[in-house]
Amino acid sequence: MRSMLQCELGPLVLEHPLINASGTLDLLELAEAVGNHVLSDPPLAAYVPKTVTLEARAGNIPPRIAEQPAGMLNSVGLPNEGIHEFLHSKLPAFMALGLPLIVNVAGFQVEEYRTLAGRVAQEVTLLAGPPPAWRSRVALELNVSCPNVERGGMAFGCARDSLTRVICGAREAWPGFLIVKLTPNVTDIVEMATAAVDAGADALALVNTFKGLTLDPTSLRPLLGGVTGGLSGPAVKPLALRCVYEVHAALNVGAGRGVPLIGMGGVTEVQDVLDLLACGASVVAVGAGLFRDPWLAAKLAGGLAEELLARGVGLTDLVGCAH
């Protein structure tokens, strides 16, 4: 199965095209719960830890999560230990996993992305040697869906100029493979994708959660502590497919750039994986589904292998075939 499903995400070689979305699976916590065998044989082809910011964050006030008929809203607020603690207490363990690592970072000012990228690059180099030694093992993913405090709370990924500045700054500080995770909460996802690639992104992750709101049925006031939240789960799959399809058509079919896409949104079954690959994703990330089943990505990889055999096609034959 592994040779049949092996794929590449830039310089990263993956045993299969199933990874996790940032913030949906903590391998260290899972190891504490079920045993360290999870770390020696992770149920993923690449690991994306939860988003890390420059300073430690406690996150939003509760309630933080509200289940919906076909998904969930979350307003967790990026709680994390901050970049210093992450680099010293977690990064060494993540780099020892034996599979590619995609470090996800976010900032609230443009310059923070450059600082974060530089700090990660410096620490990875200390652990693994000069960049040529680790470019095939570690990538950086920019979460540009955070509120830009310099622009009154608008997410960086919602405006071409701020998105460009963020990526250019990170690109100068990061010598490895650079992924930009785009927000779908824009008028034209293709415009933002094009801007990201022009600014130096090597790959795009499509897409982050969709901004939504839910009310307390008794008080009829916003239920979540952060008022609005990000919608994920099966409800967003048609929207995510549209984003992946349009970006692949514009960048890889129309312009022939060959930009790898990581598709995500509502992945719970093998058919969801097939659909995202067909729309143009090279790699598929599982998100909310991992809260119910931490081994879902590995199970979907097995199901994908069976589908390839049944259809008599290779993995590369599926990518973009909807076009």
- Which residues have a catalytic role annotated? 146
Q: Which two tokens stand for residue 12?
A: 């990263």
Compute how many other C-beta atoms are within 10 angstroms of the C-beta atom of residue 3: 6
Nearest to 281 by CA among 309, 304, 306: 304
Sign of the C-alpha dihedral, residues 210, 80, 134, 116? positive
CA dist., res. 53 & res. 40, Å (int): 27
Nearest to 265 by CA among 195, 205, 224: 205
Query: Kind of pairing, strands 18-20 and 65-68?
Result: unpaired
Beta bridge partners of 80: 57
Beta bridge partners of 140: 103, 178
CA dist., res. 116 & res. 178, Å (int): 13
Contact 76, 23 (CB under 8 A): yes
Compute how many other C-beta atoms are within 10 angstroms of the C-beta atom of residue 84: 14
Q: Which residues contact 179 (CB under 8 A, 6 or more apart)?
A: 102, 139, 140, 141, 142, 201, 202, 203, 204, 205, 262
Q: Which residues contact 227 (CB under 8 A, 6 or more apart)?
A: 75, 213
Nearest to 119 by CA among 146, 81, 96, 87: 87
